[in-house]
């Protein structure tokens, strides 16, 4: 069933140039725009808004701890005990991005970006409580994360279950760090 849903998305590759270019951008380059924008925002807040330095530094550390837990600890532990080949390693697929033949379960990109999105979402909920609660940054990051990870199915790098497992790992890591650091 996982391969069936993978095929539904991946079979669209190679038919329309504009869709292929968009998918390659989302799967391979949007992450740099997102991280670059976030780092610029952290730097801007830290340098030019002295009153926000402590909160900005805290958010930065929470985000780092969350992505390290999700991507470098939990994801790699799962991959150590369970190897699942990427779709292009075991099937004939439309592969629009090159990737090394490493394990694909769970998706490291999904774990990383959904952990980051969860931290940003809960941080904004704490800093701007209701009725002033503004979810914008968290929702922007969740939306961009969704585009990144699902486009990785389209370009032939992941199965849907890889993505779903990575999302669960990422949200769990963000939630756990939020509980440990009392973000919410």
Most confident of 67-76, 101-110, 120-129: 67-76
Residue with token string 């002033």: 132
Q: Which of 56-65, 109-118, 132-141 has the lowest mean pLDDT?
A: 132-141
pLDDT digits (tens, 9 = 90+) for 37-54: 999 988 888 888 777 788
**Would the pLDDT of 33 be above 60?**
yes
Is residue 175 within 8 A of residue 113, CB to CB? The reply is no
Q: Using 50, 70 and 90 to split pLDDT, how confident is the model at 128? A: low
Residue with token string 């996982």: 2
Region 154-164 average pLDDT? 93
Measured distance CA(127)–CA(75) in Å, rounded: 30
Measured distance CA(59)–CA(79) in Å, rounded: 28
pLDDT digits (tens, 9 = 90+) for 68-105: 999 999 999 999 999 998 888 888 887 877 888 888 99
Is the pTM higher than 0.85? The answer reads: yes
What does each C-alpha distance from 184 to 97, 135, 179 come to in angstroms? Answer: 38, 14, 7
Q: Using 50, 70 and 90 to split pLDDT, how confident is the model at 126? A: low
Structure tokens at 162: 């890889």
Structure tokens at 67: 């992505």
Residue-averaged pLDDT of the chain: 88
What is the pLDDT, as a whole number, of residue 173?
96
Q: Where are the alpha helices (DSSP H) in 49-135?
A: 53-67, 75-81, 87-90, 108-127
Measured distance CA(179)–CA(66) in Å, rounded: 11
Residues whose CB falls within 8 Å of the CB of residue 179, separated by 6 or more in sequence, listed in order: none
φ, ψ of residue 93 to 5 degrees: the values are -130, 165
Q: Computed over its alpha carbons, how large is the radius of gyration of the chain?
A: 17
**Would the pLDDT of 133 be above 60?**
no
Q: Which of 70-79, 108-117, 132-141 has the lowest mean pLDDT?
A: 132-141
């Amino acid at each position: 069933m996982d391969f069936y849903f993978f095929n539904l998305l991946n079979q669209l590759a190679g038919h329309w140039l504009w869709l292929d270019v968009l998918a390659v951008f989302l799967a391979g380059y949007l992450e740099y725009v997102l991280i670059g924008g976030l780092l610029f925002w952290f730097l801007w807040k830290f340098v030019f808004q002295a009153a926000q330095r402590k909160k900005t530094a805290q958010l930065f550390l929470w985000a780092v701890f969350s992505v390290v837990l999700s991507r470098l600890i939990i994801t790699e532990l799962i991959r150590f005990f369970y190897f699942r080949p990427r779709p292009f390693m075991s099937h004939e697929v439309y592969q629009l991005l090159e990737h090394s033949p490493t394990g694909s379960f769970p998706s490291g990109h999904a774990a990383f970006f959904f952990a980051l999105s969860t931290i940003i979402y809960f941080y904004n909920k704490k800093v701007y409580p209701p009725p002033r609660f503004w979810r914008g940054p968290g929702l922007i990051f969740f939306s961009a994360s969704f585009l990144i990870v699902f486009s990785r199915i389209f370009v032939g790098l992941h199965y849907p279950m890889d993505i779903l497992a990575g999302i669960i790992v990422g949200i769990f890591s963000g939630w756990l760090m939020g509980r440990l650091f009392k973000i919410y």
